[in-house]
Structure 1
Amino acid sequence: MSADPFVRFQCTAFLDGREWTARMSLRRAVWDEATEEWRAEYMDTCRDRYGAWLRRTAGIELTDEQTADVTVRMVTDDPEAGTDPPRLATVTLHGGPLDGETVAVDPADPEPGIGIIAAGCAYPGGRSWYEPDPAGRWTWRRDIPWAAM
């Protein structure tokens, strides 16, 4: 039997206690001939494609930072390969330009808060900043210009 003509990848995150996994593949010949830089860029596109899949599948929007934290690994026969995926929770945003939207956040983050690109942000290219209030409700605090980030 010949070798598998594809290299397979798995992207995983945990949202509200549920594992969300998507798998992708690429022709092995392309992977084998690629530079390390190209391979790293390909892994980043896997994260972006996973974010789009998650948006379609679960209606959950990941921030750029959360997308960068998604676990992407090559699928092998070794079930222990790779690292544990991040455990995320879905929250509803209140106030500001993203009022009513849901996003995934890391409940274990010691300094919770997220800056999200929003069409209604007061600063083009800036971020709308949300963080939990004392009751745990994720509330808009301010818009941040790109230069202040």
Structure 2
Amino acid sequence: MPLYEPSPYEILGIPLTAGVREINLAVGPAIKAARHTRQQIQEAAALLRNPDKRLEVDLQQPLPPEPVDQAAELLAPALAEPLLTVERPAQPPAPALLALHRAELAADFAEPAPAGAEPEPPVPARYAADLSVLPQIEVPE
């Protein structure tokens, strides 16, 4: 499966402004070029001949970028100003960084406290389990 599906205009090799006559004339050379199957070429031509379907395809096509001949002139004011410079704070000395790193590693690889080492917090009396939470059970005699 191709990653990119060509538009009907690319299949026929025509511009977006092509009329029905240009579409019909482009079918023959597209078939001779054999870059696409005959079915793809015929479907592309039929799609572009139908005004409603062509409008739908045109709305889905991304607009080509407009050429900019004066790019350097347009960017000149922005390039004339110095770029934003950010002053960085001084770095702490290397031994301080190393000590911090060792402390983080020690914390990361420390053994967790054994379960039951800390007593569980007491449960308030109003939340304690009692027989009121159990369903009524009738015991046969």
TM-score by length of 1: 0.19
Report the structure number with the largest CA radius of gyration. Answer: 2
- Which protein is richer in strand relative to its size? 1
Q: Which has the higher contact order (CA 8 A, sep 6+)?
A: 1
TM-score by length of 2: 0.20
